[in-house]
Amino acid sequence: MAKANPPTYSVHPAVTHTQAIAGNLVQNTGRSLPAWLALVAKQKLADAKAIRQWLKDQHGLGGSTCMVIADAASAGSDWCSAEAYLRVAPVYVENLFAGPKAGLRPLYEELLGIGLKLGKDVKISPCKTFVPLYRKHVFAQLKPSTRTRLDLGLALGDLKAGGRLIDTGGFAKKDRITHRIAIAAAADIDAETKQWLAKAYALDAA
Query: Are 102 and 83 spatial neighbours (Cβ–Cβ below 8 Å)?
Result: no
Confidence of residue 14 (pLDDT cuts 50, 70, 90): confident
pLDDT of amino acid 5 = 58
Q: How confident is the model at residue 1 (pLDDT cuts 50, 70, 90)?
A: very low
Q: What is the pTM of this model?
A: 0.75
* Model pLDDT for residues 130-174, shown as the tens digit of each residue: 999 999 999 999 999 999 999 999 999 999 998 899 999 999 999
User: 3-state SS of the chain?
Assistant: CCCCCCCCCCCCHHHHHHHHHHHCHHHHHCCCHHHHHHHHHHHCCCCHHHHHHHHHHHHCCCHHHHHHHHHHHHHCCCCCCHHHHHHHHHHHHHHHCCHHHHHHHHHHHHHHHHHHCCCCCCEECCCCCCEEEECCCEEEEEEECCCCCEEEEECCCCCCCECCEEECCCCCCCCCCCEEEEECCHHHCCHHHHHHHHHHHHHCCC
Per-residue pLDDT band at 123 (split at 50, 70, 90): very high
Q: In the chain, what's the furthest Cα-to-Cα distance?
A: 60
pLDDT of 6: 61
pLDDT of residue 179: 97
pLDDT at position 4 over 60: no
Q: What angle do CA 172, 13, 123 make, to 5 degrees?
A: 95
pLDDT surpasses 70 at 119: yes
Give residue limits of the domains in the chain: 13-75, 89-203
206 pLDDT higher than 70: no
Pair 152, 183: CB distance under 8 Å? yes
Q: What is the pLDDT of residues 76-95, one digit of tens each?
A: 655 667 788 888 889 999 99
**CA separation for the pair 77, 98 (Å, rounded):** 28
pLDDT digits (tens, 9 = 90+) for 28-78: 999 998 899 999 999 988 888 999 999 999 999 999 999 889 888 877 655
